[in-house]
A and B are shown apart, each in its own frame.
Chain A
Amino acid sequence: MAAQDTSKQVTRRRERLDRGIKVRSEDIYALNSWREALYLLAPRALPVVALVLLQLLAPEYWQRVLISTTVFALLAISWDLAASSGMVCLGQALFFGVGAYLAGIMNHYLGLPPGLTLPLATLGGGVICTVLLLPVLRLRGIYFAMFTLILPLMIERIIEATKVFGGTEGLSGLTPFAHPLWESFLTMAALWVALFGLRRIMASDYGLVLKGINDNDRAVMSAALNIYRYKAQALFLAAATGAFAGAFMTHSYRFVGMPVFALDYSILPIASAAVGGLGTLAGPALGAFILVPLSEMLRGLGGLRIVIYAVLLVVFTVGLPEGVFHYLRRKYTQFERWTEVGK
């Protein structure tokens, strides 16, 4: 908080104060003035409106980019939710891939329409991933991370070996969405439901328990709370969010195959979270909205995409752990000034 320069006689430090409008609108609630209501609403409403406008006005190519950006944002939210509950996942592709394959299988073999495969794959993906990870839910920190790193790689190998579900060829020719606008608004709706819904949950006392597990699982246990139950529930929410993203992509590309378990889908959510700022759900989503279009602009670089993600991931984790979202929020809610201290 204080940046002190001891070499000079007069020491200065940076002071951060909450803006008056923040204090008022949080304590008394904003309904007594438009200005304060706007102060609270703007940061929530602005992205929603902006995204709708972009979706409608952007050229067709960028509309597609926007859709995949939104999907990655969902995946990033899913990662952050799990991480906020003490489960750092290095294999987010698992959630994505399971959802993608479920939707593909239901569509290809059973002929179900997207209207049914999407919700079923979301729920089913949540259940399957939770069950797969149930035995290792006891593990903490790096041990959980190690296991999740291995799982998607393994599933890829199994599909290759057993040649199930189209093997290395995958399943193609799946049912597309009825209309491109459907795709846009479906992903957007999903994003806002996931973002605001999950943020709501994390702000409640239930979310407090999840944060507590991340902070100190022993203390949560000693408070007579079955941490494994809570972790499983959080995992289900995260996995379902990720599975929806996968299921959506299956129908959007009309194809599902082994690439859905690829590293892209594991590394991008983590990089988004690191760039956007961990633990807020909104941060990682914002991170995705920075990273995916950026990599799209650098399309010519091809394989360098993952390298860039990885480098950004390291730079932000090591050098700028605050992330973009925390920075913006700080600027929005507080003002800073230099004050002189002491002699």
Chain B
Amino acid sequence: MLQGTLIYGFINSVMLLLVALGFNLTFGISGVANFAFGALYITAGFLAWIGLNTLGLPYWLAGCAAVLITAVLAGLLYRFVVLRVRGLVVSEVIATFGVGLAILELFRFLGFIGFEYTLPEMLDLEVSLGGVIVDGQRLTILLVGAGLTLFLWLFTRHTRTGRAFRAIAQDEHTALTLGINTERVATVSVAFGAAYAAVAALVILPLGTIAVNEGYHVLVNALAVCIVGGLGSTLGVIVASFMIGFAQTFTATYLDTSWMMVVSLLAILVILLVRPSGLFGSQKQLEERI
């Protein structure tokens, strides 16, 4: 029992991590809190579903197309919505929140509700980890989660765009003077974050159905992890994912799944009281927060 809870807690943590990485990436680089994040996640799921079932594309093609289209959509969202209110934090939040709502509720209106909206699993096998049976999809989540984290780490350190990301994250104005087109990099960062959301959707959604409400849950989870970890800090996001992930799984096992969201909220409250800047947040962040 405990072993199972531990392993499923670990998997749940990686799921949170997958979801939070993208949100955190965008915020850390361009300072845009993308409240349409959950909507993009669900969009990717439906895009892949349409590619597979309506257009009859092979899995890999439908998947890649979904990720790509989601990224482009996010880039457009930045260009045509966020950029116009850039710097007005409240307007940024309200505008992206509005876009997210419009997308999600449009899906609901168009009738994308039901058990037929599922994505196929990638690996069809079962593995026994210390006596606990883990299915192929959850293994995929572990692998992809580790892969994406590693990729992000390598990308921001060893590629030109990645270094530009970090430069902007440090100080946008200085980056400008260094000849970095901050606007373009910010667009890319939003698209990049959305691509992460799309990949997360492709590996997580096969566990259940593609449900509109899941979009809101994903946003809430991403927010919780990022607040606890410290927005913009990748290490913080990793640690926070595991803290909240295990806490959620234990609550679900020993209490009830309905309390899982309460855990996220309590985690936020506790961290705000103990360490207002988040686990690994900087002084700059503390000043933004309080």
Contact = CB atoms under 8 A, between A and B. Distances in A.
B268 A270 contact: no
Interface residue range, chain A: 35 or more
A88 B224 CA distance: 18
Contacts of A270: 94, 97-98
B223 A146 contact: yes
Interface string A272-310: 001000000000000000000000000001111011011
Interface of A is mostly: helix
Contact of B91 (A90, A149, A318): A318
Nearest to A88: B90
Interface stretch (B103-111, B138-146, B185-193): B103-111
A147 B268 contact: yes
Interface in A240-267: 263, 267
A157 B89 contact: no
A301 B182 CA distance: 42
Contacts of A314: 81, 95, 98-99, 102
Nearest to B92: A142
A160 interface: yes
Nearest to B102: A310
A186 interface: no
Most chain A beta-carbon neighbours within 10 Å: one of B89, B94, B108, B258: B94
Interface in A132-159: 135-136, 138-143, 145-147, 149-151, 153-154, 157-158
Nearest to B224: A150
A309 B101 CA distance: 9
A311 interface: yes
A151 B256 CA distance: 18
Nearest to A158: B262
Contact of A90 (B93, B260, B262): B93
Contacts of A83: 90
A334 to B, nearest CB: 25
A77 interface: no
A146 B273 CA distance: 16
B102 A139 contact: no
B184 to A, nearest CB: 20
B261 interface: yes
Given A135-B269, A142-B33, A313 B289 contact: no
A141 B287 CA distance: 12
A321 interface: yes
A318 B94 CA distance: 9
A157 B33 contact: no
Interface in B142-193: none
B290 A306 contact: no
Interface in B258-289: 258-262, 264-265, 268-269, 272-273, 276, 288-289
Contacts of A160: 258
Given A150-B224, A154-B265, A157-B262, A307 B106 contact: yes
Contacts of A142: 33, 89-90, 93
Contacts of A143: 227, 288-289
Interface string B18-57: 0000000000000001010000000000000000000000
A142 B32 CA distance: 10
Given A138-B290, A161-B259, A318-B95, A149 B102 contact: no
Contact of B81 (A136, A302, A318): A318
Contact of B85 (A154, A303, A317): A317
Contacts of A301: 109
Nearest to A304: B109
A309 B98 CA distance: 8
Contacts of A135: 269, 272-273
B289 A274 contact: no
Nearest to A312: B98
A81 B258 CA distance: 33
Interface of A: 83, 88, 90, 135-136, 138-143, 145-147, 149-151, 153-154, 157-158, 160-161, 263, 267, 270-271, 274, 301-304, 306-307, 309-311, 313-314, 317-319, 321
Interface of B: 33, 35, 81, 84-85, 89-91, 93-95, 97-99, 101-102, 105-106, 108-109, 216, 219-220, 223-224, 227, 256, 258-262, 264-265, 268-269, 272-273, 276, 288-290
Q: Which 3 A-B pairs have the closest CB atoms?
A: A161-B258, A310-B102, A313-B98
5 contacts: A154-B262, A158-B259, A310-B105, A311-B102, A318-B91
Given A304-B105, A307-B105, 17 more contacts: A135-B273, A140-B290, A141-B90, A141-B93, A145-B90, A146-B33, A150-B220, A151-B265, A157-B260, A304-B109, A306-B105, A310-B99, A314-B99, A314-B102, A317-B85, A318-B85, A319-B84
